[in-house]
Amino acid sequence: NVSFCYKLGNKIKKINERLDEIKKDWDMVDRLKTTPKGG
């Protein structure tokens, strides 16, 4: 049971890290979209 919870935690951690990377990518895309209009 402990090893199962440990594996599950690692999976969730990896998913969260991936989501963070995707979020950063989207932030950059948003900036690229808004910069030409603002400037």
Mean confidence (pLDDT) of the chain: 89
Is pLDDT above 90 for 4? yes
Does the model's pTM come out above 0.85? no
Is pLDDT above 60 for 38? no
**What's the total number of domains in the chain?**
1
If you average pLDDT over residues 5-28, what whole number do you get? 96
User: What is the distance of C-alpha 23 from the center of its chain?
Assistant: 5
Containing structural domain, residue 30: 1-38
Euclidean distance between CA atoms 8 and 3, whole angstroms: 8
If you average pLDDT over residues 1-29, what whole number do you get? 95
- DSSP classification of residue 39: -
| 3-state secondary structure at position 32 | helix
Q: Match 């440990």 to its residue by tokens.
A: 6
